Amino acid sequence: MLAWLQKGKRARSECETTEQRHDSVSNPPQPEPVLNEGRELLQQGKVAPTAANTDVINNNVSQDERPDCWSKEQMLYFCAQNDWLIVKDKKLGCKVCSKVTSLAAHKEHGLRLSTEWSECSISSFGTDKARQQHSLRKKIKEHKDSKSHIKAAEIEKMATRDEIHKRIQEMHRAEHDTTWKVFRTAYKIGKHGSPFTDMPIDVSLQELNGVNMGRVLHSNKTCADIIDHIATEMKKRMVDDIITNRRKLCLLIDESTTISGKTVLVVCLRVAFADAEPDTVVFGWDHSK
pLDDT digit string (tens) for 25-59? 444 444 344 444 444 444 444 444 444 444 444 45
Q: Which residues contact 52 (CB under 8 A, 6 or more apart)?
A: none
pLDDT digit string (tens) for 228-270? 999 889 888 888 888 888 888 888 888 888 888 888 888 888 8
Is-contact 156 99, C-beta < 8 A? Answer: yes
* Burial of residue 172, with CB atoms counted within 10 A of its CB: 0-12 exposed, 13-18 middle, 19 or more buried: exposed
The stretch 205-224 carries a mean pLDDT of 90
At 162 the pLDDT is 66
Alpha-carbon span 115 to 113, nearest angstrom = 6
Single-letter code of the amino acid located at 185: T
What confidence tier does 284 reach under pLDDT thresholds 50, 70, 90?
Answer: low
70: closest CA among 82, 58, 79, 60? 79
Q: Report the 10 Å Cβ neighbour count for 164.
A: 10
Residue 266: CA count within 13 A, CB half-sphere: 11
State the DSSP H helix or E strand holding residue 80, giving kind and residue range, or none if neither: helix 72-81
Q: Which residues contact 11 (CB under 8 A, 6 or more apart)?
A: none
Is-contact 67 124, C-beta < 8 A? Answer: yes
